[in-house]
């Protein structure tokens, strides 16, 4: 026998061995987690001996599941074509004639916990597989897992993240059977639902951002949520971010001045920074002329203050310098423009108060003056009015000056005209029984004839009518009598006569 014949015999033996050795087998997960109140899926595939391939048809194939044993009456929990009263509610989602025995059980509870065995029946094909799977039903879903990635590299626990680096937080969770499917939720992001078409056994959500000092010691939480028929069940995992960053000086750092100048400076950094004071560009420490103190605000914050006596305030600048392993920051104070805060008497406040008080008094006085004028005008309207007018007609009483008439009764031509001024109404005082008034009267030689008093003559200003109105209860005749007594005087001198009304 040559070498080629030997090789052919060996190859044929391997082929025959492969055909003859195809036996019954099954593929099942070793353990399955299930959530009480939801569903559970058993992924399953099986093999049969070649001689039974013709018996495995779509119409004849039956799948059965047994729990904790192989006895038909005691341990059967599922029948694909003939559901039993005590069997579990479920169905085989795979095609048995394609050797896919994947099965789903609904509304699982603690009684579903146990070991499960599969049996295939199709015509003459009847086989019970001894390999089994274990189902464990719990009341709470398994918690997700959060991992930290920096620049796409996984970071182990307790490692720091440098500010400005690209950070990714990945949340992953094993998805249990549920309808609707579970969701993952970050503490600051919307829910990311599981796509039913993805077929993923693990739900993943990534949170990407650039690390800043504001995220130092911030805890990020990922929560998986199962919406069941009667309740909602959740589980979560968290990670706290540790960010390292260069010092940052607070903008509230400032100076105040009383008898001495006090400046304070606050800095924040990770690792915790140090603070120094520079006066005129030189570092300073405690001395008899200045006092420096520090106060720890937090694990990353520091506050320092410096007290300068008056002899140092001529220096134009004071600088606060902070540094740590990641950088340096500084803040400059201008001492010449620092706002003094002097306790005690404040001249500007006093002047402002005086001006405000004077303004209020002026307003009050103005209001009182207006009220007084209105009251005075009201009283004048109720008093007596004096009206002096030229005689326009002959209906009223005539008063003639005797000095203006000749002995024959004619009017003297060379006379001085008598004028009466019309005063403004504001200048006329009201007359009452308690008021004394003075009238100006000019006398001319001669007497007044009856002709003058009756005709009035042809000369201008030959007749003068004087009407004096006194209190409302006095008559016009009484006023004329008083005026006649005044005109009877025989003097050219101006006479002031007291008229008592």
Q: Tens place of pLDDT for every residue, the chain, 501 residues? A: 555 554 555 555 545 444 456 799 999 999 999 999 999 999 999 999 999 999 999 999 999 999 998 777 778 999 999 887 778 999 999 999 999 999 999 999 999 999 999 999 999 999 999 999 999 999 999 999 999 999 888 887 666 899 999 999 999 998 888 888 899 988 764 444 433 333 346 789 998 999 999 988 888 999 999 998 888 999 999 998 899 999 999 998 988 888 888 899 999 999 999 999 998 888 888 887 788 999 999 989 999 999 887 665 555 678 899 999 999 999 988 776 444 443 444 556 667 778 888 888 889 988 888 888 877 766 555 554 433 334 444 444 444 444 444 444 444 444 444 444 444 444 444 444 444 444 444 444 444 443 333 334 444 443 333 333 434 444 445 555 555 554 444 444 444 444 443
**CA angle 281–287–291, rounded 5-degree value:** 85
Burial tier of 340 (Cβ tally within 10 Å: 0-12, 13-18, 19+): exposed
On whether the CB atoms of residues 134 and 87 are closer than 8 A, the answer is no
List the one residue out of 267, 254, 255, 244 whose CA is nearest residue 329.
Answer: 267
CA dihedral 145, 150, 155, 159 (to 10 degrees): -120
Quick one: CA torsion of 172, 176, 182, 188, rounded to 10 degrees?
-30
Query: CA 91, CA 78: separation in Å to the nearest integer?
Result: 8
Distance CA 159, CA 262 (A): 40
Q: What are the backbone dihedrals phi and psi of residue 430, each rounded to the nearest 5 degrees, phi first? A: -70, 145
Asked if 101 and 45 count as a contact pair (C-beta separation under 8 A), the reply is: yes
In whole angstroms, give the CA distance from residue 136 to residue 40: 10
Instruction: Find out whether 79 and 64 touch, Cβ atoms under 8 Å.
Output: yes
| CA triple 10-13-14, angle to 5 deg | 90
- Name the nearest CA neighbour of 399 among 437, 431, 442, 429: 442
> What is the per-residue DSSP string for 346-383?
-HHHHHHHHHHHHHHHHHHHHHHHHHHHHHHHHHHHHS
Residue with structure tokens 């085989």? 92
Q: How far is CA 189 from CA 220, 221, 223, in A?
A: 10, 10, 11
The torsion angles phi and psi of 441, rounded to 5 degrees, stand at -130, 130
Provide the whole-model pTM.
0.55
Closest CA to 272 of 250, 294, 245, 292: 245
Beta bridge partners of 295: 303
- Which residues, other chains included, contact 399 with Cβ-Cβ below 8 Å and sequence gap of 6+? 453, 464, 465, 466, 480, 483, 484, 487
Contact 423, 466 (CB under 8 A): no
Alpha-carbon distances, residue 266 vs 216, 292, 329, 353 (angstroms): 18, 13, 11, 38
Domains of the chain, each with CATH number or no CATH:
20-138 (2.60.40.10), 145-241 (2.60.40), 249-337 (2.60.40.10), 386-499 (no CATH)
Tokens read off for 327: 């950088």
């Amino acid at each position: 026998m040559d070498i080629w014949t030997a090789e052919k015999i060996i190859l044929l033996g391997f082929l025959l061995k492969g055909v003859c050795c195809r036996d019954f087998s099954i593929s099942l997960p070793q353990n399955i987690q299930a959530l009480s109140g939801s569903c559970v899926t058993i992924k399953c595939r099986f093999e049969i001996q070649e001689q039974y391939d013709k018996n495995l048809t779509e119409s004849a194939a039956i799948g059965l599941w047994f729990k904790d044993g192989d006895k038909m009456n005691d341990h059967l929990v599922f029948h694909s074509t003939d559901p039993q009263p005590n069997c579990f509610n479920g169905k085989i989602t795979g095609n048995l004639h394609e050797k896919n025995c994947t099965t789903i059980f609904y509304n699982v509870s603690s009684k579903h916990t146990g070991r499960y065995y599969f049996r295939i029946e199709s015509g003459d094909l009847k086989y019970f597989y001894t390999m089994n799977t274990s189902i464990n039903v719990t009341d709470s879903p398994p918690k997700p897992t959060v991992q930290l990635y920096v620049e796409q590299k996984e970071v182990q626990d307790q490692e720091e993240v440098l500010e400005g680096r690209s950070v990714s937080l990945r949340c992953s969770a094993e998805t249990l059977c549920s309808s609707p499917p579970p969701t993952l939720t970050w503490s600051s992001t919307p829910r990311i639902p599981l796509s039913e078409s993805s077929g993923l056994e693990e739900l993943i959500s990534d949170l990407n951002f650039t690390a800043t000092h504001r995220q130092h010691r911030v805890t990020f939480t990922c929560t998986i949520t199962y919406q069941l028929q009667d309740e909602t069940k959740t589980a979560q995992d968290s990670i706290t971010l540790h960010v390292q960053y260069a010092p940052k000086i607070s903008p509230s750092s400032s100076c105040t001045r009383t008898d001495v100048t006090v400046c304070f400076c606050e800095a924040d950094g990770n690792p915790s920074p140090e603070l120094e004071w520079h006066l005129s560009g030189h570092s300073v420490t405690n001395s008899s002329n200045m006092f420096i103190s520090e106060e720890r605000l937090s694990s990353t914050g520091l506050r320092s203050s410096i007290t300068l006596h008056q002899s140092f305030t001529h220096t134009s600048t004071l600088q606060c310098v902070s540094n740590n392993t990641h950088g340096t920051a500084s803040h400059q104070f201008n001492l010449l423009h620092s706002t003094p805060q002097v306790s005690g008497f404040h001249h500007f406040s006093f002047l402002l108060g005086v001006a405000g008080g004077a303004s209020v008094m002026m307003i009050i006085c103005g209001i009182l003056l207006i009220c007084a004028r209105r009251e005075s005008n009201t009283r004048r309207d109720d008093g007596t009015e004096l009206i002096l007018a030229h005689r326009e007609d002959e209906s009223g009483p005539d008063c003639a000056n005797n000095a203006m008439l000749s002995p024959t009764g004619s009017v003297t031509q060379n006379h001085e005209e008598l004028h009466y001024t019309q005063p403004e109404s504001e200048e006329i005082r009201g007359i009452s029984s308690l008021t004394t008034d003075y009238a100006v009267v000019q006398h001319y030689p001669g007497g007044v004839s009856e002709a003058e008093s009756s005709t009035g003559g042809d000369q201008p200003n030959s007749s003068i009518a004087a009407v004096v109105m006194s209190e409302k209860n006095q008559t016009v005749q009484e006023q004329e009598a008083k005026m006649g007594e005044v005109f009877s005087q025989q003097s050219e001198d101006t006479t002031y006569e007291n008229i008592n009304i």
